[in-house]
């Protein structure tokens, strides 16, 4: 299927778009079906083996476990790396709230791994303009939140010599190269097309309708002359959850018409809501989410109180029939954050057999997440305004192109 053939979500299918993720199944979104509908490719084991062979590094557990499950043109990116040719990474965040949640970490964790593994530059777009248009925020507040979220992103340890983080409000206002690309993209896409891709309607404000060009523009190296010296032929790889794919289907459709390379992508599954995998963890529902600002007590209470259990309804029943890891949220969260494969396998075995109770599994998760969030808070607190300014100043990055 061509990139631009994705249909709007039919009612009987899971709903997956940049604003909604809803599945009828307690197991969550049917990702195999989604790959077919979106026209992307599965990340096959052979591709991971090739990556390992080329880089000499084992695949990240999020890749190995199929959390990142789908791709577009990843093998072309590996071809470039093999030939010693340049590429860059691009990802982003819509700063709608002060606090990011655990789900938001997923694309950034893999992006950090990819930056370290391939030693390439990275651009991170903070779409404060998007959040102003979609949420009940003033433009000043959206801009402020971009800087707050930048601190969380910097706390993950991206190499300052190879990373440019930008607020759309700041950068679009200062870069004619970026704005020129936005214009080129805007001229290639009709209202009918964005209606089809994003479901915009007659009552959506015109800012929303033209926004996709802004998320598309960082895919092109010529949008960043201070990094790529005006070159327009350096391709990018975009890690994101699959909800963002509609933007990049549009971008890939437009790229050849502008004489630019199509961006490659790797897509992750969704980190589910506490209440179950029918929806993703979302900042707009605080009870569905564990935030990077939560206290130890909040983490414990939220998991114990809200995390959907795949266990039996009584201890007796659980011992007899065992737990169902396919729907159990504590287990699912462990597949994202417990790195030790053997330990994870053992937990699965013990929970499925009924040896391990829901409360015990939740305790394992709590003991992983509490220190992880605590460490994040400490690292974030150490990020000064000066450091933020350094990452967010348009400048040359350490990169041979």
Please give the residue ranges that form the binding site for ligand TYM (CB under 6 A).
18, 91-94, 103-104, 106-107, 125, 127, 130, 215, 238, 240-241, 243-244, 268, 270-271, 280-281
Residue placing its CB nearer to ligand TYM in the complex, 248 or 351 = 248
Identify which of residues 130 and 294 has a Cβ nearer to ligand TYM in the complex. Answer: 130
By C-beta, is 268 or 309 nearer to ligand TYM? 268
For 70-87, give one letter per residue: b (16+ CB within 10 A) or e. Answer: bbbbbeebbebbeeeebb
Least separation in angstroms between residue 20's CB and ligand TYM is 12
272-273 β-sheet, strand order: 15-16, 21-22, 276-280, 272-273
**Sheet order of strands, 68-72 included:** 41-42, 68-72, 264-268, 236-241, 88-93, 122-126, 163-167
Report the residue number, 169 or 356, with the smaller CB distance to ligand TYM.
169
What pairs with residue 89 in β-bridges? 122, 237
Minimum distance from CB of 280 to ligand TYM (Å)? 4
Residue-by-residue DSSP string for 141-191: HHHHHHHHHHHHHHTT---GGGEEEEEHHHHHHH-HHHHHHHHHHHHH--H
Closest approach, Cβ 336 to ligand TYM, in A, equals 9
The least distance separating ligand TYM from the CB of residue 325, rounded to whole angstroms, comes to 19
Give the shortest CB-244-to-ligand TYM separation in angstroms.
5
Of 129 and 328, CB closest to ligand TYM: 129
Q: How far is the CB of 219 from ligand TYM (least distance, A)?
A: 8
The first and second tokens of residue 206, run together, are 């015109």
DSSP, collapsed to helix, strand or coil, labels residue 12 as coil
Which residue number, 107 or 310, has a Cβ lying nearer to ligand TYM?
107
Instruction: Report in angstroms how near the CB of residue 160 gets to ligand TYM at its nearest.
Output: 20
User: Rounded to an integer, what distance in angstroms lies between the CA atom of residue 127 and that of residue 279?
Assistant: 23
| Interatomic CA distance for residues 124 and 89, integer angstroms | 8
Residues in the chain: 401
Collapse the DSSP code of 283 into the 3-class scheme (helix H, G, I; strand E, B; otherwise coil) and give the result: coil
Q: Which is nearer to ligand TYM, 18 or 261 (CB)?
A: 18
Structure tokens at 229: 């010296």
Q: How far is the CB of 155 from ligand TYM (least distance, A)?
A: 15
Of 106, 40, 37, 146, nearest to 270 by C-alpha is 106
Q: Which of 241, 344 has the CB closer to ligand TYM?
A: 241
């Amino acid at each position: 299927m061509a990139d631009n053939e994705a249909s709007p979500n039919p009612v009987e299918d899971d709903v997956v778009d940049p604003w909604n993720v809803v599945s009828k199944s307690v197991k969550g979104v049917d990702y195999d079906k989604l790959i077919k509908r979106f026209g992307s490719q599965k990340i096959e084991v052979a591709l991971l083996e090739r990556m390992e062979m080329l880089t000499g590094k084992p695949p990240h557990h999020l890749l190995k476990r199929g959390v990142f499950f789908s791709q577009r043109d990843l093998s072309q990116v590996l071809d470039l790396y093999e030939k010693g040719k340049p590429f860059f990474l691009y990802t982003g965040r819509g700063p709608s709230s002060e606090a990011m949640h655990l789900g938001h970490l997923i694309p950034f964790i893999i992006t950090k791994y990819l930056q370290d593994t391939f030693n390439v530059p990275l651009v991170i777009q903070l779409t404060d303009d998007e959040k102003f248009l979609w949420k009940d925020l003033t433009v000043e507040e959206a801009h402020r939140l971009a800087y707050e979220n930048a601190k969380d992103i910097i706390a993950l340890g991206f190499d300052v010599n190879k990373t440019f983080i930008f607020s759309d409000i700041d950068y679009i206002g200062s870069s004619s190269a970026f704005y020129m690309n936005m214009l080129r993209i805007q001229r290639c896409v009709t209202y009918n097309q964005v209606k089809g891709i994003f479901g915009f309607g007659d009552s959506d404000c015109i800012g929303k309708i033209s926004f996709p060009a802004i998320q598309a523009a960082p895919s092109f190296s010529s949008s960043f002359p201070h990094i790529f010296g005006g070159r327009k032929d350096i391709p990018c790889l975009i890690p994101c959850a699959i909800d963002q794919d509609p933007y990049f289907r549009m971008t890939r459709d437009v790229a050849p018409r502008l004489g630019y390379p199509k961006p490659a992508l790797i897509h992750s599954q969704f980190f589910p809501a506490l209440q179950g995998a029918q929806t993703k963890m979302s900042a707009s529902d605080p009870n569905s989410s564990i935030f990077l600002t939560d206290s130890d007590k909040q983490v414990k209470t939220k998991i114990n109180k809200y995390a959907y259990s795949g266990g039996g309804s009584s201890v007796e029943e659980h011992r007899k029939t065992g737990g169902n890891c396919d729907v159990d949220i504590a287990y699912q969260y462990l597949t994202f954050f417990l790195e030790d494969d053997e330990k994870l396998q053992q937990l699965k075995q013990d929970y499925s057999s009924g040896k391990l109770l829901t409360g015990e599994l939740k305790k394992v998760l709590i003991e992983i997440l509490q220190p992880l969030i605590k460490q994040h808070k400490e690292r974030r607190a150490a990020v000064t305004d000066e450091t933020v300014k350094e990452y967010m100043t348009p400048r040359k990055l350490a990169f041979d192109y």
